[in-house]
A and B are shown apart, each in its own frame.
Chain A
Amino acid sequence: MLKRCGLLSFVLLGFLLSTVSGCTGGQGGKVQPDQSGKTSPPGNVAVKEIILATTTSTQDSGLLDVLIPAFQQKTGYVVKTIAVGTGQALAMGQRGEADVLLVHAPEAEKAVVESGAAVNRRLVMHNDFIIVGPPQDPARIKGLTGALEAFKKIALSQAIFISRGDDSGTDKIEKGIWKKAGITPQGKWYQQAGAGMGQTLNIASEKGGYTLTDRATYLALKKNLQLDILVQGDPVLLNIYHVMEVNPARFPKVNAAGAKAFADFLVSKEGQELIGRFGVDKFGSPLFFPDAGKKDEDLGLK
């Protein structure tokens, strides 16, 4: 009886054993950070982990792939980067499900701080948005300095415009510009992708449409796109990043020390230098501009 089941049992057993035996990493971080750092956290494993809620575009830019390892190396903390839409990141903060937030939606961030869910909101860096579109530029916006004017022309000519449509930081800025221009975009020309920046750019490229994008993602994907930079430089196109610590007084389970360490790192000389250098060798110009210590007003934000 057993012989007949020979192959069956062998295959099943071998497969299951090999998978189950590898399952020792059930307790979280497999990353073993260098413990010779300056600020060593307490030996307790749980306290060593920090949950960072940030946005997909921040992660997609690649900046975190430079910042996080440097921070982990220096402090011994393990960072779990949860990159989601801005709405979700802020919601995680509101519920105390993250320790520190790095987002770029100033109006929404202020609401979170006002509600008491986050504290210590600090300016970290900025990059800018650009309006890109097909080289033929049917709406004739190339070279305009005003984003509002460019959007008006796109609406008038009913040229295809692809919106993120996902309530992300980028989406909020885009919707804000339409509002400031006094236009409610609707019609077949205005299409909501409901997708990340990279995919939205691909859609715009495929359909020969315009879109609003952050410079970093555009530069990273430029070679695969048939889109040119048409409008840039308007202060309303600034994309400003703040870091906030989730309020430990309200949410005692937050890793307050870890969150502070990470936020401090971002605005520290070392962190700011890493930010300022990022992208230079690949694109010739930095993708982000370090702003720690400046005030919001310096950048044109109210």
Chain B
Amino acid sequence: MLPTFAYVRPQSLANALEQLRTDGARVSAGGSDFLGCLRDDVFECSKIVSIAGLDELRGIRTLPDGGLRIGALTPVAEVAGSAVVADRYRVLAQAAGEVASPQLRNQGTIGGNICQRPRCWYFRGEFHCLRKGGTTCYAIAGENQYHAVLGGSGCFIVHPSDTAPALMALGASVRIAGARASRVVPMDEFFVQPNVDVRRENVLERNEIVTEILVPRPADGLRSAYRKVRARGSWDFALAGVALALRVRGGSVVDGRIVLSGAAPVPWRSRAAEAEIVGSAVTPERATRAGAAAMRRATALKRNAYKIPLFKGVIEEELLKLANA
């Protein structure tokens, strides 16, 4: 049962930003993650500013420069089912198709998906953890089987989004509207690591709204894929996932990005792994080395050591599959 809150559904972005100025106001898009947080008392909200009525933030459109504009309110299911996305950005279509469950993909938005709060059971549960303003990260000495092996510092959540690693692999950006102006932030700079600020997962301020996602024109020879390993077939976040976007010319990788999900508090771009495969063909040996490179700095907590061999295996397998596709 949800606690009480006031509710407003603005008809314009300007009004939505205005409504967000109230203390305790929070923006809600699809609501699938947001309402769950309210049910679990993850944060307080005295007023929901629903942006569900802002139709201009919906839809997928090809831009004149060949890139793609995805409105932040576009349902995840629409991204997963879009022919243009599937055709040109396979990694994104696959990642969107792996999100949660069909009903939640119908409800949840792409903007909400990259901004969702962590699924760490201490963060979601009745634990006053570091990320909620407490003094302890319960995962460090606790049940940390689903927690980070990279980038953990004070807090060991993993970022829950599937689409964010895919967008990062594609070099996408996010447009953010604020009270005074809008800004465009590359996905590479959108997420915040816990050693910078443990209370947030991204650079979005409380009174800002993600309005659209901009994906650059696919490079010639782009091959991309998303692979997610999880404890059950649906409705589950990644134990280990990898978003690949490789530019292949004449059998050789000329450029590429490898971004991990389920590894770190942010979508984790592994430049070390990228370095192992750029400049040559993806051979089994190179794929193995890329997996090993991605995990070189990984450190396990008490119960998540399996993630290290798992990531190695998944990266290797998926690289070979993509290179030989």
User: A and B: partners?
Assistant: no
